[in-house]
Amino acid sequence: MPATQSAAAPGRLEVVRRFVNTCDIEAGNDTLATPEACLRWLRGQDLLDRSVDTLDRADRDEVVAFRESLRDVLGVHRNGRLGDAVLDRLNATAARVGLAVRFTPSGSWQVHARGDGVHQAVGRLLTIVIGAMADGTWSRMKVCANDACRWAFYDRSKARSRRWCSMRICGNRAKQHAWRSRDGGKTR
């Protein structure tokens, strides 16, 4: 985990941010490395009912694949458009977890997931993402512009222009790199 904590997201969206950050790519640590650890983490975030008391390797792999799809989706906030491969994965996940719309007495709607087992957790995470897309907070969720880092953070800057998880670490690294390239060009 980068030494400086990134800004937390509002409400339940923070659970999604923490989920993406269960893997510290740079350090090579994955909190969801085993089915047991995955179960513990998902339960700890209220993403699985108590009735789900075991996950297998395939469940764990599905959760991790979904996490990396989300990281790709967050990367689009800097890069523009979602590629076909990410879209296909995301749409397949939505179908698998049984996402459905329910209308409410106030004339509004709610998205909910009908899946069992690990699909319950993936469905709840996806529901939070859809809610954030609907209320506008999703556009502030980003991943660090340093490809070796890709840490998820919530951009609270007025101009929505934050690019790095931490200016002190990844931001400065990028600046130093640019400076070194310029300097090298001059002396040669």
146 binds Zn ion (CB under 5 A): yes
Under the binding rule (CB under 5 A), the answer on residue 23 touching Zn ion is no
Window of 62-70, 100-108, 110-118, 147-155 that interacts with Zn ion by CB under 5 A: 147-155
Task: Rule CB under 5 A: say whether 9 interacts with Zn ion.
Answer: no
Alpha carbons 35 and 166: distance in angstroms, whole number: 31
Candidate segments 4-12, 39-47, 55-63, 160-168, binder of Zn ion by CB under 5 A: 160-168
Q: Can residue 165 be called a binding residue for Zn ion (CB under 5 A)? A: yes
The reply on whether position 20 binds Zn ion by CB under 5 A is no
Does residue 21 bind Zn ion (CB under 5 A)?
Answer: no
Q: Which is nearer to Zn ion, 59 or 72 (CB)?
A: 72
Q: Where do contacts with Zn ion occur on this chain (CB under 5 A)?
A: 144, 146, 149, 151, 165, 170
